[in-house]
Structure 1
Amino acid sequence: MSRKKPPAGGTPAVRLLKASGTPFALRAYEHDPAAASYGLEAAEVLGVDPARVYKTLLAQTDLPRDRGLVVAVVPVAGQLDLKALAAAVGAKKATMADPALAERTTGYVVGGISPLGQKRELRTVIDESALIHDTVLVSGGRRGLDVELSPADLVALTSATTAPIGRP
């Protein structure tokens, strides 16, 4: 079976970072398909505190904008608080989006969904804990690739808001 190569110039997330002139570092590692958690695997393999590694999740809300889809970015060591996310975007409720819908909407595969360079720009909320770090790591657009950048740059590039949407 042949492996699909990443597009020339990198993933859409990496191309966005390069085009914007944003300082970042690529952090690649060999992904283990048996790993129970993509984010915790990245933290362990890269030797990074899990509090600095963030996962990208898609949630479905009752809002009409973008079919109710919202991107949530939370620490890999915790969970997304769906009630807090709903409150942060002014929705009555939020549920996790279907993984197939998340992949179609973002253009990335589950476990490699980046908040950067998605096919459609969706409303994005980043857990406010990201702001206490000098740099954070998020998926670079494929399993086994993270990008490290400042939280302020992540907020700016995704036009995100920050709110307390994560829980331990």
Structure 2
Amino acid sequence: MDKPGHWMEDPTGPGAHLREAFIPLRDYTFDGLPQKIVDTVKGLPFRIDGLMTCVDAFLPGIARAAEILGLHTVPAEAYRRAGDKFQTRRLCPTHTSIKVDSLAAFLADLGKRSEPLKYPLVVKPTRGHGSEGASRVENQQELVEAVTFAFYTTSPLYSYSILLLT
């Protein structure tokens, strides 16, 4: 299963020998992915033994679909937590991060802080690949620009919130 036109779809392509069938997956949202997979798998004329992905961002959804289908998997919650940089940093005894859930809330709260932020800071989406959307900032203007950039230019699959590492 993948988006229509994926290289695995070509029956004479380089990946044709790796699969029995290709099922185009259309019209799904990130949150709706598990149920879309479940509905698709239940409609197939053959048995599915497992689900996998090569894209980290899809791991929680794929695992949730596997749970629903009764297939062997690591718990979806484990993937969700492991892929969320804010959640994993909270496990550290010197937790020094701030979670920003929306640009509007961040801008409204920025001037209301009881203690000013100490620079430099690192702005990073809580989910994503490598350093996509990450910035080091030296002042408030750079901070606002970096948070705006992280919310609006990184993939919507990854940017649930922004993490300020102090």
Q: TM-score, normalising length from structure 1?
A: 0.28
Q: TM-score, normalising length from structure 2?
A: 0.28
> Based on CA coordinates, which of the two structures has the bigger radius of gyration?
2
Higher relative contact order at CA 8 Å, sep ≥6: structure 1 or structure 2?
A: 1
